[in-house]
Amino acid sequence: MQCLRERMQSPVAASNILERTEIIPPVRGAYVWMLDRSPIYVGIANNLRKRIAQHMLADPSGANLAVRVAARALGCSLRVVKRQASFGSAFLDARSRLRAGDIAYLEIENSLELYLFEPYCAMELDAITYNFFDTLQIVSPKPR
């Protein structure tokens, strides 16, 4: 966690990643997406370069963080957000906001450490607004 916090002090500009993909290595690890230097999302990936770039693509099927940001802006669930009349503009706005953000990342090779680190990191950084750790909740959100 300390290493990631240090990397958050000098993050990579998200907008630079699409232009220069070599900035992020194609390794397994965790990443923190920040807006205005505040962490909003913690993710993990087998290929950090590929996954981080996907979040900023025009296709909502791969850009799930932008879809989550759009759903929150529209005040609806992930289950129905893509059916909203204003989803297209909300998605474009969310994607633009993400591209204006920053990313810090950390290589983590051990699978168990990686999967445990994601929720720990999200809670530690209070970046749980867009993180969902129950995969069934993504498909069918239910009140607890």
Q: Is residue 33 part of a domain?
A: yes
Q: How far is CA 120 from CA 6, 9, 79, 104, 115, in A?
A: 17, 19, 26, 16, 9
Provide the pLDDT for residue 131.
87
Q: Give the model's confidence band at 137: pLDDT under 50 very low, under 70 low, under 90 confident, else very high.
A: very low
Is the pLDDT score of 56 beyond 60?
yes
Provide the pLDDT for residue 135.
52
Is the pLDDT score of 98 beyond 80?
yes
Q: How many domains does the chain have?
A: 1
User: Residue 37 sits in a domain of what CATH number?
Assistant: 3.40.1440.10
CB 89 within 8 A of CB 1: no
This prediction's pTM: 0.88
- DSSP 8-state assignment for residue 127: -
pLDDT tens digits along 26-39: 999 999 999 999 99
Q: Is residue 58 part of a domain?
A: yes
Q: Is residue 71 part of a domain?
A: yes
